[in-house]
Structure 1
Amino acid sequence: MNAETLLLPFQFPFMRTAFLIGAVVSVPAALLSCFLVLKGWALMGDAISHAVLPGIVLAHILGLPLIVGAFAAGMACAVATGFLTGNSRVKPDTVLGVVYSGMFAAGIVLFVSVETGVHLDHILFGNMLGVSTSELWTAAAISAGVGGAILLKWRDWLLHAFDPAQARASGLAVGWLHYGMLAMLSLTIVATLSAAGLILAIGLLIAPGAIAFLTARTFRGMLIVAVLACMGSMLLGTYLSFFLDSAPAPTAILVLTALFVAAFLNRALRGAAAA
């Protein structure tokens, strides 16, 4: 391929917008993924990403911004899960499975029973090539807010992830940290809604942290590696999708998966060599 062919994707406005939204949503998703991986909250991210569907449909029916419905549904899922876990003998992963599958099913029922005019494929799988200016600005605002909050308080959330009892003994507001993390998770899923969609958002929220966990030696290093891996995968996946004639979001997730496999094999080979 010559240089003109290689630079062809950058000549189209919709591709430039796709690159931009991919870079924007990758930052909060990557930062949060480090905490989700350390805390073992992978299922929580999956649950909230599916549970926002009924909120989106209801917001459309009521004429509210979709971001309001998605955030409200995500927080409702998180609060309901916390309440049921704390007031029953059922294990948290079981509660999560019941709550998020129920909310996702309710969203599907609402969607097919009410004429919404919203394309379900765009909600489930994202539409990076059709992102509007308002969606881009919304994602940028969420990215700046979530990213800034994490970078300012990452030590507190790190202690809370490793040892909530020690965090409480140190005088930290554990409740605020817990629900603050859930709120940021819900907001980040809203930001990734237009890019990766509900189903693929979990890939952005887990894979970068897993890659960083296998490669970095410090938590600060994890944050940096996760952002680089997520942003690089989003940009490369979007670029490759142009030539493969595929959807950008799934292609980016495939790149992230390939990076995880490479990081895993590298870690395994180094462990075998050291033994």
Structure 2
Amino acid sequence: MNLIELLAEPLSYTFMIRALSVTIIASVLCALLSCWLVLIGWSLMGDAVSHAVLPGVVLAYIVGAPFALGALIFGFLAVALIGGVRDTTKLKEDAAIGIVFTTLFSFGLVLISVTPSHIDLNHIIFGNLLGVSSADLWQVLILGAVTFAILILKRKDFTLYAFDQTHAHALGMNPRLIGAILLGLLAMTSVVALQAVGVILVVAMLIIPGATAFLLTDKFSKMLVIAPALAACAGILGVYASYFLDASTGGMVVLAQALIFAAVYLFSPRQGLIATKLAAKERRRSLAAVR
């Protein structure tokens, strides 16, 4: 079997094509949003929202509603609760996030444990890429397209908000509204990624690509290209690796992203560990030569 036949083999199965499609959409969307999350410092917020959707998915299953609807409602609820606790108490944002997301996630786990089900609801937690249906794929396509369009159309506002909220306000923008829109998009993105890797690993897809791109460039415009490109490559590699190794698909996708980050962390020309060490060593040599 040659290389082309080897690469084409997984694509002979419809479920693999659906899995690959959902993975690429979720990876690109999460990577794009992760650029702003990393820049603003909202990595923990991504963790909170991605975990808080769990009870919404379970309740949607109980009442026979679409999983995405329940997840969206609880995603927005989590954002509202975090803002409410933060604004009405002396607690800092990280404490409010910790309280809300652990409470909602625990509520979801309890619902799973007491809900009779003919399907394995644990797939919500760990993902079930190979079980993605045509309806799930269409759901991901629609939510992903809407979220992607808003991120692209409002990218200048989001970027200004991330760099300088005071300047954004001076230009007539409403920083609170922009932040709320960004959090709403975070909830929608979490729902899309939920189909791919489950609740647990969504946070990785919302952080790793942006962090990787941050180490590769100092220009935010380039980050918005590098992060989705690397995430898409990692998604494809992860899906293929899971097929041939018979391993967890969602886990392999995130592991591929982590391996790319590790390579960039070590070998990035500007901010990589090795380059930094060599530059420091060269500076010491130069100083020693001057003396």
TM > 0.5 between the two? yes
Q: Which residue of 1 aligns with 2:279?
A: 274
Q: What is the distance in 2 between the residues matched to 1:220 and 1:202?
A: 23
Do 2:127 and 2:250's aligned partners in 1 also have CA atoms closer than 8 Å? yes
Q: How big is the shift at 1:155?
A: 1.3
SS at match of 2:53: helix
Q: Which runs of 4+ in 1 moved over 6 A?
A: none
Q: What is the distance in 1 between the residues matched to 2:65 and 2:11?
A: 34
Amino acid in the other structure paired with 1:53: L
For structure 2, which runs of at least 5 residues remain unmatched after alignment?
A: 281-291
Deviates more, 1:194-203 or 1:161-170: 161-170
Q: Does 1:34 align with 2:35?
A: yes
Q: Which residue of 1 aligns with 2:47?
A: 46
Q: Which residue of 1 aligns with 2:2?
A: 2
Q: Which residue of 2 aligns with 1:119?
A: 120
Q: Which residue of 2 aligns with 1:167?
A: 168
Q: What is the distance in 1 between the residues matched to 2:117 and 2:11?
A: 34
Q: How big is the shift at 1:210?
A: 0.4
Alignment of 1:199-238 (within 5 A): 199-238=200-239
What is the identity percentage for the equivalent residue pairs of Structure 1 and Structure 2? 39
Q: What is the distance in 1 between the residues matched to 2:92 and 2:118?
A: 39
Q: How big is the shift at 1:150?
A: 1.1
Aligned residues: 275
Q: How big is the shift at 1:55?
A: 0.9
Q: How big is the shift at 1:71?
A: 0.5
Q: Deviations over 1:160-215 (max 9, x none)?
A: 11222221122112222111111111111111111111111111110000000000
Q: Which residue of 2 aligns with 1:243?
A: 244
Q: Which residue of 2 aligns with 1:154?
A: 155
- The TM-score with structure 1 as length reference comes to 0.96
Do 1:57 and 1:116's aligned partners in 2 also have CA atoms closer than 8 Å? no
Amino acid in the other structure paired with 1:220: S
Deviates more, 1:265-274 or 1:252-261: 265-274
Q: How big is the shift at 1:26?
A: 1.6
Deviates more, 1:14-23 or 1:224-233: 14-23
Alignment of 1:250-261 (within 5 A): 250-261=251-262
Amino acid in the other structure paired with 1:273: L
Deviates more, 1:81-90 or 1:107-116: 107-116
Amino acid in the other structure paired with 2:145: A
SS at match of 2:65: coil
Q: What is the distance in 2 between the residues matched to 1:45 and 1:262?
A: 24
Q: How big is the shift at 1:273?
A: 3.1
Q: Which residue of 2 aligns with 1:77?
A: 78
Do 2:38 and 2:211's aligned partners in 1 also have CA atoms closer than 8 Å? yes
How big is the alpha-carbon RMSD for the aligned residues of Structure 1 and Structure 2? Answer: 1.3
Q: How big is the shift at 1:251?
A: 0.4
Do 1:81 and 1:95's aligned partners in 2 also have CA atoms closer than 8 Å? yes
- The TM-score with structure 2 as length reference comes to 0.91
Amino acid in the other structure paired with 1:219: F
For structure 1, which runs of at least 5 residues remain unmatched after alignment?
A: none
Q: What is the distance in 2 between the residues matched to 1:72 and 1:256?
A: 29
Q: Which residue of 1 aligns with 2:146?
A: 145
Please identify the structure whose Cα radius of gyration is greater. 2
Q: Which residue of 2 aligns with 1:136?
A: 137
Q: Deviations over 1:128-170 (max 9, x none)?
A: 1111111111111111111111111111111111222221122
SS at match of 2:154: helix
Q: What is the distance in 1 between the residues matched to 2:130 and 2:233?
A: 18
Q: What is the distance in 2 between the residues matched to 1:12 and 1:118?
A: 22
Q: What is the distance in 1 between the residues matched to 2:159 and 2:89?
A: 27
Amino acid in the other structure paired with 2:24: A
Q: How big is the shift at 1:246?
A: 0.4
Q: How big is the shift at 1:254?
A: 0.6
Amino acid in the other structure paired with 1:56: V
